[in-house]
């Protein structure tokens, strides 16, 4: 039986919270990536189309974005601007990771083993706190259930965060093309020697994707099973008390999502086993994203932004690990 191993993520939030910038960065860092916009994308452009040659009259297949990104990631911006019929066309590609074609006498199945990173705005442009989650999200449950993580990002007015963001934006304009110079205090605070270059990050992602294949331990599997049953029980109790069905369903697909997230966290550490620590972090990510969106629709809490200390400090060890044990393999790729 073939199981999907790629993670699909939906970023749903207010304007000007850097959703498009994040998609652009992923498009540049991922070894294989295709960037597209929902407004200018059709079902044929995302999956595949059959084109007739003007001279010979023969038909041939033209691959779409999800086929071209096989083995990588598809970044879809303005996901809410897509027509409903076009979103339905990628259902098969997001779950089975294949695209079936039966047109003009051509019957075939194309591989689309890619992750989907989509960004969208709420139905009213900005997230309305006075409305329920189902009223803010204008997507069918069939497409929402195919996303492993759904983050609702809100533009929260906070003095310290706004000051830090304004300082960063000013720094980008002052030091554009390297013409500006930072003072010593900014250099000391901004460069601590642990930054990873985009090229090195690309090599690291490619190495981890092709060389590391983690599997769940027995204890980790039991922990995931218990959490999944608990999540289903909580959503059932909430639905009975409120009398409303959640806009984001919690089905067996979410259990598979938790497994994929835990295995991906183990893959980040170049580990062949996904243990209890990886499951705890996967559950935390699921709670502050999909589960929180299903319950109340907000995610701007300190818990969602903090994370566990182990995984927040993981990037500090990546460069050292690559230089010691895996530098030779990365140079040969």
> DSSP string of 184-229?
HHHHHHH--S----HHHHHHHHHHHHHH---EE-HHHHHHHHHHHH
Average pLDDT over residues 2-14: 85
Q: Are 261 and 228 in contact (CB under 8 A)?
A: no
Rg (CA), the chain: 22
Average pLDDT over residues 259-277: 92
Position 298 pLDDT exceeds 60: no
pLDDT at 282: 93
Token pair listed for 63: 């691959």
Q: Residue with structure tokens 């935390």?
A: 284
Find all residues with CB under 8 Å of 243, minimum gap 6, and list them: none
| CA dist., res. 29 & res. 23, Å (int) | 10
| CA dist., res. 66 & res. 24, Å (int) | 17
Position 279 pLDDT exceeds 90: yes
Average pLDDT over residues 192-206: 83
Rounded mean pLDDT of the chain?
A: 81
Of the candidates 231, 233, 248, the residue with the CA atom closest to the CA atom of residue 145: 248
If you ran DSSP here, which 8-state letter would residue 243 be given? -
Q: Worst-scoring range by mean pLDDT, 12-16, 77-81, 126-130, 322-326?
A: 322-326
Name the 3-class secondary structure at 35. strand
pLDDT at 308: 47
Average pLDDT over residues 199-211: 91
pLDDT at 332: 57
Find all residues with CB under 8 Å of 124, minimum gap 6, and list them: 131, 136
Position 110 pLDDT exceeds 70: yes
b/e string for 287-296 if b means 16 or more Cβ within 10 A? bbbbbbbbbe
Token pair listed for 329: 């393999």
| CA dist., res. 285 & res. 151, Å (int) | 10
Q: Worst-scoring range by mean pLDDT, 5-9, 96-100, 229-233, 241-245?
A: 241-245
| CA dist., res. 60 & res. 104, Å (int) | 9
pLDDT at 303: 43
pLDDT at 314: 60
More confident residue, 163 or 40: 163
């Amino acid at each position: 039986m073939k199981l999907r191993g790629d993670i699909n993520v939906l970023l749903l939030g207010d304007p000007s919270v850097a959703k498009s910038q994040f998609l652009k960065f992923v498009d540049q860092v991922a070894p294989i990536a295709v960037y597209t916009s929902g407004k200018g994308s059709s079902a044929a452009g995302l999956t595949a189309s059959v084109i007739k040659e003007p001279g010979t009259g023969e038909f041939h297949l033209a691959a779409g974005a999800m086929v071209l990104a096989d083995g990588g990631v598809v970044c879809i911006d303005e996901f809410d601007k897509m027509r409903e019929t076009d979103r339905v066309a990628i259902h098969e590609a997001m779950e089975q990771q294949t695209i079936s074609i039966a047109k003009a006498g051509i019957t075939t199945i194309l591989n689309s083993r890619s992750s989907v990173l989509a960004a969208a705005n709420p139905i009213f442009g900005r997230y309305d706190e006075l409305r329920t989650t189902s009223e803010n999200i204008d997507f069918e449950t069939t497409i929402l259930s195919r996303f492993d993580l759904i983050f609702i990002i809100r533009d929260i007015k906070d003095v310290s965060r706004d000051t830090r963001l304004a300082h960063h934006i000013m720094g980008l304009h002052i030091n554009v093309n390297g013409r500006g110079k930072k003072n010593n205090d900014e250099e000391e605070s901004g460069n601590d020697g642990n930054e990873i270059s985009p090229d090195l990050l690309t090599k690291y992602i490619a190495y981890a994707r092709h060389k590391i294949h983690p599997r769940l331990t027995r204890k980790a599997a039991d922990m995931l099973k218990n959490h999944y049953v608990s999540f289903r029980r909580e959503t059932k109790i909430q639905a009975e008390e409120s009398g409303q069905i959640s806009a984001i369903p919690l089905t067996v697909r979410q259990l598979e999502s938790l497994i994929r997230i835990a295995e991906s966290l183990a893959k980040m550490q170049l580990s062949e086993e996904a243990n209890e620590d990886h499951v705890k972090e996967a559950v935390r990510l699921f709670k502050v994203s999909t589960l929180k969106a299903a319950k109340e629709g907000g995610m701007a809490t300190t818990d969602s932004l903090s994370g566990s200390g182990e995984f927040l400090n993981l990037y500090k060890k990546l460069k050292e690990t690559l230089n010691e044990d895996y530098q030779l393999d990365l140079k040969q790729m």
